């Protein structure tokens, strides 16, 4: 039905194509997860099953959208890095954002039972999202380092806070005790009062989770002389990386290489 008198309404649509040759970061974040986590009695400060569910959703994202090259998640948030040359939906911001948020949310609901077989999903989890473009791989690396530092700072604080509360302090008292403390004071507090070595807590809690394609060698068959014939394929994997820094990227140059 070309050229109806209503066609002019299309002129009001705006072009939201993101600039070419730049990495696209979509970060999604659980809406009101403070409440959602309380409603579903998540362990404080870290619920292993809830984090594994988030990670599993991120794996599904990379399997569904081949142009996502890397994802990093902590707490109720996940960042997805789309490769700089992606032409997916002509790089339209609204498409990339809405597809990411809706796909992640649907998978979260679908997989809920797998991670919480004995907990009913009491209300709809939902996520917001934002898109930011970065013109250099180095800035994407710094972006990820920023999220990981944030994870560390928040987790160290939350670990101390909930240890104090579980040991009988009120939330107000715990807050007061932690006011103005530095990282080393918090480590000391955990060790002195609770005999906890912060560095020994699970890496996933302290450092967040990375999802990316790993190159794995697999044996396809044995040749006539009985030697294995292998091929390399990529497999989406979850890793808990100590520092998402220069060493990490130099070991995996194919992830964020500029084309």
For the annotated binding site for GTP, the residues are: 29-34, 75-76
Q: Which residues pair with 233 in a beta bridge?
A: 216
**Whole-number Cα distances in Å, 180 to 33, 65, 167, 187:** 26, 43, 21, 14
Among 31, 177, 196, 201, binds ligand GTP (CB under 6 A): 31
32 binds ligand GTP (CB under 6 A): yes
In sequence order, what DSSP letters do the residues of 191-238 get, joined into one string? HHHH---GGGS-HHHHH-EEEEEEEEEEEEEE-TTSPEEEEEEEEEEE
Binding residues for Mg(2+): 29-30, 76
| Least separation in angstroms between CB 54 and Mg ion | 12
Give the other-Cβ count within 10 Å of 59's Cβ: 17
| Least separation in angstroms between CB 36 and Mg ion | 9
Tell me whether the omega of the peptide bond preceding residue 72 falls within 30 degrees of 0, making it cis: no
Q: At what angle do helices 137-166 and 183-194 cross, to 10 degrees?
A: 30
Binding mask 38-77 for ligand GTP (x = CB under 6 A): ----xxxxxx--xx-----------------------xx-
Nearer to ligand GTP, 65 or 78 (CB): 78
Asked if 248 and 208 touch (Cβ cutoff 8 Å), the reply is no
Nearer to Mg ion, 30 or 61 (CB): 30
Nearer to ligand GTP, 26 or 69 (CB): 26
Nearer to ligand GTP, 44 or 95 (CB): 44
Q: At what angle do helices 93-115 and 48-64 cross, to 10 degrees?
A: 130
22 binds ligand GTP (CB under 6 A): no
34 binds ligand GTP (CB under 6 A): yes
Nearer to ligand GTP, 32 or 119 (CB): 32
Positions in the binding site for Mg ion (CB under 5 A): 29-30, 33, 76
Distance between terminal CA atoms of the chain? 42
33 binds ligand GTP (CB under 6 A): yes
Q: Give the footprint of ligand GTP on this chain (CB under 6 A).
A: 29-34, 37, 42-47, 50-51, 75-76
């Amino acid at each position: 039905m070309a050229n109806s008198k209503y066609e002019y309404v299309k002129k009001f649509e705006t072009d939201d194509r993101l600039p070419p040759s730049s990495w696209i970061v979509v970060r999604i974040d659980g809406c009101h997860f403070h409440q959602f986590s309380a409603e579903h009695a998540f362990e404080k400060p870290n619920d292993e099953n809830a984090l594994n569910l988030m990670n599993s959703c991120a794996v599904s994202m990379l399997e569904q959208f081949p142009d996502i090259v890397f994802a990093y998640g902590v707490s109720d948030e996940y960042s997805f890095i789309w490769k700089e040359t992606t032409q997916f939906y002509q790089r339209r911001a609204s498409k990339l954002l809405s597809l990411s948020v809706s796909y992640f949310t649907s998978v979260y609901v679908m997989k809920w039972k797998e991670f919480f077989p004995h907990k009913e999903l009491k209300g709809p989890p939902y996520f917001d999202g934002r898109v930011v473009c970065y013109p250099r791989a180095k800035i994407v690396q710094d972006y990820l380092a920023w999220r990981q530092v944030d994870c560390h700072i928040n987790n160290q604080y939350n670990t101390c806070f909930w240890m104090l509360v579980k040991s009988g302090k009120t939330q107000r008292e715990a807050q007061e005790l932690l006011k103005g403390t530095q990282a080393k004071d918090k480590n000391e507090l955990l060790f002195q009062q609770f005999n906890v070595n912060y560095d020994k807590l699970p890496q996933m809690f302290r450092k967040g989770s990375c999802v990316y394609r790993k190159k794995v060698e697999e044996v396809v068959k044995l040749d006539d002389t009985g030697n294995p014939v292998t091929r390399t394929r990529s497999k989406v994997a979850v890793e808990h990386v100590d520092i998402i820094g220069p060493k990490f990227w130099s070991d995996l140059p194919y992830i964020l290489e500029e084309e």
